[in-house]
A and B are shown apart, each in its own frame.
Chain A
């Protein structure tokens, strides 16, 4: 299968980096179309840099980034993003927040005004899928943190992106809400056939959700281990309590511990 995201031997130094040290060095990874990939690593390992490289917000100093068969030279326009902080706009209702990407991305931008009802229906069906049915009229600050994060996932998906980038999206939530949202994420992935790259600190989260896990080294980041996850889908939360699952998490932990020690 042809890789959807192909990052080849990339070294990137931020223009504003004071020490001139690269954020990532000789980074190579491939994610197939429709795959759910997770990236784990010690903090400050350049995971966010990887997100910016894959979406075209930064361009590599050396190496190539190919997304959907084309070398990235500008923001890719086909990506949806969600962060740890839901970044909802407080002056818009939740529904209007979700519709925001459509005001930017073509062809929706030109169609939005005339086909508003159609798009609103789509947003409402997304809200229903994440368990926020009928909450669209509320303002984001009237929702709890977990609900805001769900809405932020809807915003990332409303324009049917081919690539969804998640930067520790559940990091700030309590563990029950987090597990609930894992299941939401699992179902969204199954329904939308979107390629997902999830950056996370949580090894259980990576193991439960993804098809393929990449472990990164400490800064300057590169991939030190790649591991396929073979649990059959659809997965139930119960698998997180099986010995196989624990063994996988334990193995990942070993890679991270080594990466930290090497730093």
Chain B
């Protein structure tokens, strides 16, 4: 019981401790707020710019969720295809890995050529950056179905499609939900990169403008807002994961 309480408190203690330490360092060493503002300064900035921050944050949230949604749909489909066909898997892997290795910030200009400045580049950047882990995980889950299980079903006359749908996909769900936690944070990175380079709204755009104007506290305030949103989205996906795949989390390690 004692360790359980400690575990529940630990994230709060560590987070608050981190910011306290930061505050103390800034005050004791008298760091200029232009280099590193103290948390108190940042918090004041958040309050001062709250309407502006909220407006842009909502926009970023939308971009992220739209890109993430696309990535989930596309990732599931492509993962199912790759997981059920060794030929397509082997053939397309170099392409996928190569594509994933391209820094997505380099792709944004191309998206601007195609779609102009607006909401499309951030959504697509979020999508492009976050679909890969979903594909890989879903494909792994499906391609590792036990051979005995496959034999049982094939001896009954099951088609490849039957086996993928009845065994492969449910089996891949823990992998899928695990990958969502990675994908949602990546999607955030993607939409902010997109907004920084090709949008007139959103936290990314706010960051670009604030740093151009040397409004250092606003830059930090925007970063804090991003971090908080990221944590919230992560927690939501982790919660969904736990409620959807309880059967997979019966090990002592997960308890």
Contact = CB atoms under 8 A, between A and B. Distances in A.
B155 A91 contact: no
A89 B170 contact: yes
A156 B148 CA distance: 13
A104 B162 contact: yes
B247 interface: yes
A104 B146 contact: no
B77 to A, nearest CB: 21
Given A89-B170, A104-B156, A104-B157, A52 B151 contact: yes
B147 to A, nearest CB: 9
B226 to A, nearest CB: 36
A87 B157 contact: no
Contacts of B167: 89
A225 interface: no
A81 B152 contact: yes
B247 A104 contact: no
Contacts of B149: 87, 89
Interface stretch (A8-16, A71-79, A187-195, A208-216): A71-79
Contacts of B148: 83, 85, 87
Given A100-B166, A139-B247, A105 B152 contact: no
Interface string B163-174: 000110011010
A53 B162 CA distance: 22
Contacts of A155: 152
A202 interface: no
Contacts of A139: 247
A76 B154 CA distance: 9
Contacts of B173: 91
Contact of B155 (A56, A85, A106): A56
Contact of B146 (A81, A85, A105, A106): A85
Given A87-B149, A90-B247, A57 B155 contact: yes
A87 B152 contact: yes
Size category of the B interface is 20 to 34
A167 to B, nearest CB: 8
B248 interface: yes
Contacts of A56: 155
B154 A75 contact: yes
A162 to B, nearest CB: 12
A75 B170 CA distance: 24
A101 interface: yes
A55 interface: yes
Interface in B137-161: 146, 148-149, 151-158
A52 B152 CA distance: 10
Contact of B250 (A74, A79, A141): A141
Nearest to B173: A91
B247 A79 contact: no
A103 interface: yes
A25 interface: no
A79 B170 contact: no
A159 interface: yes
A57 B156 contact: no
Nearest to A163: B155
Given A52-B151, A91-B247, A141-B250, A77 B156 contact: yes
A46 B155 CA distance: 18
Contacts of A83: 148, 151-152
B80 to A, nearest CB: 17
Nearest to A51: B151
- Give the 6 A-B CB pairs with smallest separation, nearest first: A77-B157, A55-B155, A104-B158, A104-B156, A91-B247, A83-B148
Interface of A: 52, 55-57, 74-77, 79-81, 83, 85, 87, 89-91, 100-101, 103-106, 139, 141, 155-156, 159, 165
5 contacts: A55-B151, A75-B157, A83-B152, A85-B146, A89-B171
Given A57-B155, A103-B166, 7 more contacts: A85-B148, A87-B146, A87-B148, A90-B247, A101-B153, A104-B157, A105-B156
